[in-house]
Amino acid sequence: MDPIFPPGTPQELAYTPAYKLNKTTDLIFLGLITPKRNGTINPSILQQTHDCFLNLSDILQPLGPNAKVIKVTRLMTDASEIWNSHPEFIRYFGDALPTSTLIQVPSCSEPEARIELEVWAAVPRGEGESLEPRVRSMGPDGAPLAVSVHSHASLGFAKGSSGNAAGQGVVTELNAALDAIDQRVSEARGSFVKFALLLTDMRSWKACREVVVNRYKGQTLVIVPIAVPNVQQQGASIEVEGTFVASTEANDTAEAGSPRRGDLLAASGQPAIPVFVGGMALDTYKFKPYSSVAAQTKMALENIETILKASGCNWNDVIKTRWYITDIKEWPQIEEAALAIFGRPLPSPTVVEVSALVKQGIRVEPDIWANVMRPNH
């Protein structure tokens, strides 16, 4: 679990730019972390953040003292509250900050919640431990809260939309999306470890969760709902991002993953402002974002390229992308600008429309996972 700080990393940056996980490490996928504690939610954003971290500690406790959070997406109903919430973030993590992305969502899974967390962690592997995905923490209803995979396992990603079922009700749409994902994962001879559900109406979350739990009963997977204003498919109310462990014998395709040939890189989402320019971190937010969303995309990807170079890899090594954007209609321009930089089809892209990002005027923030290649590995 090596932190990556590229040249030019500003002082007092509120996150670690990236973490590299070697073969002695397990990657942990966690379910949604909410601020509900003992059946109640405190109205204070500071206390809600504190309670999120108490719940996170409860889930990580069975993994032992060496478990470490490496990546967090903060789902907040008001992005401007980040600095009111941040003292608890610093208090919990201290100097060992994770990679971090902030998005403003229309709502949280709990109506009174103002912050929830999507979390990935890592823990050293025990000698002789199984290479298969396994449940590391279980909820009171028998659904997994934390699932581990070997960091050098062959991770795969698949996206499912409702297709012809769009507009026929969220449960029908969800089952259609899961049918599509199941087919792709079956071809890769894979096993699921996580579903992220993009929901245009968070009131459907409980019904959707019940569908997934019943359909995949006994499987080692966690579920994270994310409220979005819109999904990519017009007229639909849900999309699904699936993460799975693929057979190393499966075909090497963008959606079936590829065999691990090195360490796994978890990078922080990068805003469309210059980050790695030295100085103080707060000064970077004085930069006025470009008016063109294509120029913003290029700027954000320049930040990610700096992280990739410092980690010993390049665009060809990226295996997964998420794109947080403030207007789903701008995706074609963002995609065109990104394709010019990647020079190949975007690896396993998931487009997540958000209400706002970390700074007013920023309209795109990409988030990536990559392989750190090793010669003769």
**Of 178, 148, 129, 186, nearest in space to 21 by CA:** 148
148, pLDDT greater than 70: yes
What average pLDDT does range 185-191 have in this prediction?
Answer: 81
Among residues of the chain, what percentage have pLDDT more than 90? 73
Which CATH number among 3.40.1030.10, 3.40.50.800, 3.40.50.620, 3.30.1330.40 corresponds to the domain 130-261? 3.30.1330.40
Q: What is the arithmetic mean of pLDDT over 7-19?
A: 94
Joined together, the tokens standing for residue 119 give 């979390």
Mean pLDDT, rounded, of the chain: 90
What is the spatial distance between Cα 199 and Cα 182, in angstroms, rounded to a whole number?
Answer: 19
Both tokens of 332, joined, read: 């074609």
Amino acid (one-letter) located at 305: E
Beta-bridge mates of residue 372: 263
Q: b/e per residue, 83-100, with b = 16+ CB within 10 A?
A: eebeebbeebbeeebbbb
CATH topology classification for 24-126 = 60s Ribosomal Protein L30; Chain: A; (3.30.1330)
Cβ(226)–Cβ(101) below 8 Å: no
pLDDT of residue 104: 97
DSSP for 284-325, please give it.
HTTSPPPSSHHHHHHHHHHHHHHHHHHHT--GGGEEEEEEEE
What is the mean pLDDT of the segment spanning 19-42?
Answer: 92
pLDDT > 90? residue 254:
no
% of the chain with per-residue pLDDT over 70: 94
* CA-based nearest residue to 186, from 248, 247, 253, 258: 247
pLDDT of residue 369: 95
Answer CATH for 263-279+290-372 from 3.30.1490.20, 3.30.1330.40, 3.30.1240.10, 3.30.70.3450: 3.30.1330.40
Per-residue pLDDT of 84-130, as tens digits, reads 999 999 999 998 999 999 999 999 999 999 999 999 999 988 765 66
Quick one: pLDDT at residue 89? 93
One DSSP character per residue, 168-189 reads S-HHHHHHHHHHHHHHHHHHTT
Residue 248 clears pLDDT 60, i.e. is over it: no
Q: What integer is the mean pLDDT of 186-197? A: 87
Task: Look at 377 and 166; give whichever has higher pLDDT.
Answer: 166
Which is more confident, 255 or 48? 48
Same fold, 130-261 and 263-279+290-372: yes
Binning pLDDT at 50, 70 and 90, where does residue 250 land? very low
